[in-house]
Chains A and B, each alone.
Chain A
Amino acid sequence: MSTDTLLTVANVTRRFGGLVANSNVSMTVHRGEMLGLIGPNGAGKSTLFNLIAGTFPPNEGRILFEGQDITGLPAPARCRLGIARTFQVPRSFDSMSVLDNVMVGAFAKVPGSHAARRTAIETLDFCSLAHRTEASAGDLTPPEKRRLEVARALATKPKLLLLDEVMTGLTPSEARLGVELVRKVRDQGVTVIMVEHVMEIVMPLVDRAVVLNLGKVLAEGKPKDVVRDDAVITAYLGERHRAA
């Protein structure tokens, strides 16, 4: 793992009306690493995620990607720079086929439809969805839809992939396949930030974890250190994990 910095979030604050969803959050993500973003419900994970993806800008603070200030860039521009994301609730293009869905992603980097189709087919193959290429996205099962989200994001050839609870709602065996896919993605050299609820899945998988609580960074470090951190245990992991 290189220590080269890919993404820097510097003193970012985001308010919604009177509610402070992210308060003075700072973190860095290194090229090639897999980072877990965890925290209880309402901790501000999704907000931070959306700030990095460019869904909305922060009220204060800056976001740097490969040294470039992207704080004011909208989502499509960030995608072209190499930031891709999935959505917590899958947002497939339901009137289009699976292949067409992924081609939309591919067009972010390649203008021609032949090249985009080739990229899309390769990506679908990579995500083990090749057998569903022709299906309508609206007809996919929930785990397939999650795979489609990942495939579509990967087709944009990202440097940084933001995965928003891709394992939620999967059965243990489906989750194992999901973990396998995420590992494969990382092995391709893509940096990954995962927001995840299921600790048992995310902790063994990531190189480093950032714990958010009440909109602030509570702890940061190697998974095995973070899970032993008293503040984290009290705030989030709670009884269940202490017992485990």
Chain B
Amino acid sequence: MTTQALLQVLASGLLMGLIYALIAVGLSLIFGLMDVVNFAHGEFLMTAMYVVFGMFLFTAIDPVLLVPVAAAALFVVGAAAYLGVVRFAMRAKANQGMVQIFATFGLATLMQGAAQYFLTPDYRSIGNSWLGGKTLNLAGVFLPWPQIFGGLVSIAAFGGLYLLMSRTDFGKALEATREDQGAVALVGIDRNRVFALGWGLGAALVGLAGAVLAIFYYIHPQVGATFGLIAYVTVALGGFGSVFGALAAGVIVGLVEALTAALLPPAMKSIGIYTLYLGIVFIRPSGLFGKL
């Protein structure tokens, strides 16, 4: 591999990795908050992609401008999923972990089915957007603008998340709830409200990622499954609950995937990250940055 080609691989891997981190961070945030793995996370992503696609279709507003709209829409979806489903799953007396897995799995399947039924299983894509199909030539390394935009959105989102967690009352309430669920009730924080907002926030983050992906990726009812699995791998790699572990793990996943794709046949491109994931959790059962 020439230096040029290697740089190309690393740069596109890095950009994709930042997007993966953005997909994964909401999942990690929710887990850190309340020990629930949302198996419908990929379907949240799919929903965001369809939201952007639909808005673009009917209003012709460019997807770049729709990014905040997708985040807002997903905030509502996330909070609704908590209030309508997960809240009840947490009341189970026995086998709570199992109930949570299957309740969110049920939600995922339902969302997939609904997308298929109402929006057809067709693959769709957004043509003619500001960034779609355009690339930046950086001294011979070609970077697609949508991915660059995605990387920037991701960095901005992590920056915002950092400020939110460290500077605001809501961030402190989140942190406190993460640390000790019992104690927060004593100081008058409404757990349910924090959880609902946490789910909203987690979903809004994946909404950002979905809006970015909608610019350059095919949109279809199963799209969540692919990215969902990458998100679980990323989160497990970074350590469940670790927000900045997700950032590091996302970048690692992006780089490893790009390298595998360059070295192995395209059909095998996911082998690299899966193997990496297994290798790491077998050595460190709670991920790279896990607290467990």
A positions within 8 Å CB-CB of B: 94-95, 138
The 5 closest A-B pairs by CB, nearest first: A95-B94, A94-B94, A138-B94, A138-B93, A95-B95
Nearest neighbor of B93 in chain A, beta-carbon distance: A138
**Inter-chain contacts of B94 with A (CB < 8 A):** 94-95, 138
Nearest neighbor of A138 in chain B, beta-carbon distance: B94
> How far apart sit A135 and B95, CA to CA, in the bound complex (Å)?
19
Of the four ranges (under 10, 10 to 19, 20 to 34, 35 or more), the interface on chain B belongs to under 10
Q: Dominant SS at the B interface?
A: loop
> How far apart sit A234 and B94, CA to CA, in the bound complex (Å)?
45
Can you sample 5 A-B contacts with CB below 8 Å?
A94-B94, A95-B94, A95-B95, A138-B93, A138-B94
Chain B: minimal CB distance from A89 (Å) = 15
**Inter-chain contacts of A138 with B (CB < 8 A):** 93-94
Chain A: minimal CB distance from B261 (Å) = 43
Complex interface bits, B72-92 against A, C-beta within 8 A gives 1, otherwise 0: 000000000000000000000
**Inter-chain contacts of B93 with A (CB < 8 A):** 138
Chain B: minimal CB distance from A200 (Å) = 31
**Inter-chain contacts of A95 with B (CB < 8 A):** 94-95
> How far apart sit A94 and B93, CA to CA, in the bound complex (Å)?
10
Nearest neighbor of A136 in chain B, beta-carbon distance: B94
Nearest neighbor of B95 in chain A, beta-carbon distance: A95
Chain A: minimal CB distance from B95 (Å) = 8
> How far apart sit A99 and B93, CA to CA, in the bound complex (Å)?
21
Chain B: minimal CB distance from A137 (Å) = 11
**Inter-chain contacts of A94 with B (CB < 8 A):** 94
> How far apart sit A48 and B257, CA to CA, in the bound complex (Å)?
49
Chain A: minimal CB distance from B37 (Å) = 22
> How far apart sit A95 and B98, CA to CA, in the bound complex (Å)?
14
**Inter-chain contacts of B95 with A (CB < 8 A):** 95
A-contacting residues, B106-120, CB 8 Å = none
